[in-house]
Amino acid sequence: MSEAGRFPDDFLWGVATSAYQIEGAWKEDGKGPSIWDTFSHTAGKIVDGSTGDVACDHYHLWRQDIELMKDLGVQGYRFSVSWPRVLPDGFGPVNEKGLDFYDRLVDGLKEAGIEPFVTLYHWDLPQSLQDIGGWTNRSVAYYFADYATVLSRRLGDRVRFWMTHNEPWVVAWIGYGWGHHAPGLTSARAALQVSHHLLLSHGLAFPVLKDSGNQSKVGIVLNLSPVYPATESEQDQEAARRQDGFLNRWYLDPIFVGAYPADMWSLFGNLVPKVEAGDLSLISKPVDFLGVNYYSRSVVADDPAGGLTKTRSVRVPESEYTEMDWEIYPQGLYDLLMRLHRDYRAPTLYITENGAAFKDEVAEDGSVRDERRLRFLREHFVQASRAIQDKVRLKGYFVWSLMDNFEWAFGYTKRFGIVYVDFSTQKRILKESAKWFRQVIKENRVV
For residue 253, state whether it binds ligand FCB (rule: CB under 6 A). no
Which residue from 350, 400, 420, 436 is in contact with ligand FCB, where contact means CB under 6 A? Answer: 400
Nearer Cβ to ligand FCB (253/407): 407
Site residues (CB under 6 A) for ligand FCB, limited to 402-421: 407-408, 416
Q: Which member of 23, 167, 327, 407 is catalytic?
A: 167
CB of residue 275 vs ligand FCB: minimum separation in angstroms?
A: 26
CB-CB contact of 374 with 418 (8 Å)? no
The span from the CA of 244 to the CA of 369, in Å, is 36
For residue 279, state whether it binds ligand FCB (rule: CB under 6 A). no
For residue 124, state whether it binds ligand FCB (rule: CB under 6 A). no
For residue 80, state whether it binds ligand FCB (rule: CB under 6 A). no
For residue 47, state whether it binds ligand FCB (rule: CB under 6 A). no
Nearer Cβ to ligand FCB (170/308): 170
Q: Which member of 23, 327, 353, 407 is catalytic?
A: 353
Pairing outcome for strands 76-80 and 161-166:
unpaired
Residues 126, 249, 244, CA angle at the centre, nearest 5°?
Answer: 110
Nearer Cβ to ligand FCB (175/273): 175
With CB under 6 A, what is the number of residues at the site for ligand FCB?
A: 12
Specify whether 115 is catalytic: no
Q: Which residues of 416-434 are buried (b: 16+ CB within 10 A; e: fewer)?
A: bbbbbbeeeebebbbbbbb
CB of residue 431 vs ligand FCB: minimum separation in angstroms?
A: 16
Which residue from 12, 18, 88, 253 is in contact with ligand FCB, where contact means CB under 6 A? Answer: 18
Pairing outcome for strands 227-229 and 217-223:
unpaired
CB of residue 407 vs ligand FCB: minimum separation in angstroms?
A: 6
User: What values do phi and psi take at 420, rounded to 5?
Assistant: -80, 140
Nearer Cβ to ligand FCB (7/398): 398
Nearer Cβ to ligand FCB (108/291): 291
Specify whether 353 is catalytic: yes
Which residue from 37, 57, 167, 370 is in contact with ligand FCB, where contact means CB under 6 A? Answer: 167
For residue 223, state whether it binds ligand FCB (rule: CB under 6 A). yes
CB of residue 97 vs ligand FCB: minimum separation in angstroms?
A: 25
Instruction: Name the E strands within 296-446.
Output: 298-302, 311-313, 348-353, 394-400, 419-422, 427-430
For residue 251, state whether it binds ligand FCB (rule: CB under 6 A). no
Site residues (CB under 6 A) for ligand FCB, limited to 286-345: 293
Q: Which long-range contacts (CB under 8 A, 24 or more apart) does 179-185 make?
A: 180/409, 181/39, 181/123, 181/408, 181/409, 182/34, 182/35, 182/36, 182/38, 182/39, 182/40, 182/123, 182/125, 183/35, 183/38, 183/39, 183/125, 183/130, 183/134, 184/39, 184/42, 184/45
Helix (H, G, I), strand (E, B) or coil at 294: coil
CB-CB contact of 56 with 19 (8 Å)? no
Question: What residues are paired with 429 via a beta bridge?
Answer: 420
Nearer Cβ to ligand FCB (57/124): 124
For residue 170, state whether it binds ligand FCB (rule: CB under 6 A). yes
Any residues with CB less than 8 A from the CB of 86 and at least 6 apart, and which?
94, 95, 98, 99, 102, 147, 150, 151
Question: Quick one: how far is CA 237 from the chain centroid?
Answer: 28
CB of residue 180 vs ligand FCB: minimum separation in angstroms?
A: 12
Nearer Cβ to ligand FCB (167/302): 167
* Amino acid making up residue 430: L
Nearer Cβ to ligand FCB (18/385): 18
For residue 20, state whether it binds ligand FCB (rule: CB under 6 A). no
Site residues (CB under 6 A) for ligand FCB, limited to 147-166: 166
Which residue from 23, 37, 115, 353 is in contact with ligand FCB, where contact means CB under 6 A? Answer: 353
For residue 212, state whether it binds ligand FCB (rule: CB under 6 A). no
CB-CB contact of 384 with 378 (8 Å)? no
CB of residue 434 vs ligand FCB: minimum separation in angstroms?
A: 17
DSSP 204-265: HHHHHHHTT-TT-EEEEEEE---EEESSSSHHHHHHHHHHHIIIIIHHHHHHHTSS--HHHH
Q: Which residues are catalytic?
A: 167, 353
Binding site for ligand FCB (CB under 6 A): 18, 21, 166-167, 170, 223, 293, 353, 400, 407-408, 416
